[in-house]
């Protein structure tokens, strides 16, 4: 924790951090909130960032923010591992191709075809939600569906032969936190890194379950990637927090 010292032990962290944060930029108003994260309180913000929160709270707040069009970010670190999730809503569009995949895209055409999507590798499979489609309106009422990404411009969405003919319009948007947890889309620099990344994704969820049952984080001990993750999860390292915090701050500025 960058902002606190031994003299702050026993104090509320938000209140103890407030004056230090306020000194960083006098043009920014910093207020400490020590009450419940109620829906009425959350509704007053354009961006909500959660850290060190339970999985249940992340899902509750994420669902509320997504429904209200509030930008939602989860930023957390556990020892040497960190996680960052962003949900900027169904109408957020990334214009810079260097920034990665867009949160939503306009539909140009949907064909009426019979059959199911081909088997796709995890790299080319994701969950997407369709909305605003005219003509083939059956797609608007569906839950997020798994799709096969063929290339930068084409997707396979399954059997549409019994649907009404497509006329125009429509948006395809990415998943919420709840959907992303169930069907993660993990991008890595090399295939060798994928097993470790998938293990860490599962380990974060297992850690939430452990904390919910035991009321504490695992005690330090060793070995494989999941055990190593658990053994250092109770530690807070400033360099790791700095990296994840900087990425989260960059996303907030968007």
What's the CA gap between 215 and 212, in Å, rounded? 6
- Tens place of pLDDT for every residue, the chain, 254 residues? 667 888 888 888 889 888 888 888 888 899 999 989 999 999 999 999 998 888 889 999 999 999 998 999 999 888 777 888 888 887 776 555 555 554 556 676 677 666 554 443 444 455 566 777 788 787 776 666 666 666 666 767 777 777 788 777 766 665 667 777 776 766 666 777 777 777 777 778 877 887 788 787 776 664 555 666 666 666 677 777 888 888 888 888 87
- Owner of token pair 């489609």: 133
The pairing of strands 71-78 and 125-131 is: unpaired
Tokens of 228: 């190593």
What's the CA gap between 252 and 14, in Å, rounded? 19
Give me the count of residues in the chain.
254
Q: Are 84 and 248 in contact (CB under 8 A)?
A: yes
pLDDT at 188: 64
pLDDT at 48: 95
Q: Which residue segments constitute the domains of the chain, with CATH numbers given?
A: 36-90+179-253 (3.40.50.12550), 104-173 (2.40.30.180)
| Residue 73, SS3 per DSSP | strand
| Residue 64, SS3 per DSSP | helix
Computed over its alpha carbons, how large is the radius of gyration of the chain? 21
Tokens of 149: 């990404």
Q: Give the residue among 78, 82, 100, 102 at the shortest CA–CA distance from 90.
A: 102
pLDDT at 196: 74
Provide the β-strand partners of residue 145: 128
Give the global pTM.
0.53
CA distances from 61 to 85, 104, 191, 212, 233 (A): 13, 21, 33, 17, 23
For residue 186, the 8-state DSSP code is: -
Is the CA virtual torsion 126, 51, 192, 206 positive or negative? negative
Q: Are 155 and 149 in contact (CB under 8 A)?
A: yes
What's the CA gap between 124 and 130, in Å, rounded? 18
């Amino acid at each position: 924790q960058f902002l606190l010292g031994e003299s702050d032990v026993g104090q509320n962290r938000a209140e103890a951090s407030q004056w230090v944060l306020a000194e960083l930029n006098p043009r920014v108003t910093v207020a400490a909130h020590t009450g419940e994260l109620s829906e009425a309180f959350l509704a007053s913000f354009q961006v909500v960032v959660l850290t060190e929160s339970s999985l249940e709270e992340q899902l509750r707040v994420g669902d509320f923010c997504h429904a209200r069009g509030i930008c939602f970010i989860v930023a957390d670190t556990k020892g040497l591992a960190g996680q960052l999730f962003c949900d900027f809503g169904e109408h957020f569009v990334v214009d810079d191709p260097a920034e990665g995949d867009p949160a939503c895209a306009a539909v140009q055409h949907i064909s009426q075809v019979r059959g199911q999507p081909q088997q796709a590798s995890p790299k080319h499979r994701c969950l997407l939600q369709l909305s605003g489609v005219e003509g083939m309106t059956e797609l608007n009422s569906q839950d997020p569906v798994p799709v096969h990404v063929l290339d930068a411009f084409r997707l396979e969405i399954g059997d549409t032969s019994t649907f009404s003919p497509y006329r125009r319009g429509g948006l395809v948007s990415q998943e919420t936190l709840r959907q992303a947890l169930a069907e993660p889309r993990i991008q890595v620099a090399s295939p060798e890194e994928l097993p470790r990344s998938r293990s860490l994704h599962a380990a974060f969820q297992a850690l939430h379950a452990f904390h919910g049952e035991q009321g504490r984080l695992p005690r330090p001990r060793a070995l494989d990637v999941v055990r190593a993750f658990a053994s250092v999860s109770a530690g807070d390292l400033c360099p790791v927090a700095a990296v994840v915090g900087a990425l989260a701050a960059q996303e907030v500025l968007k």
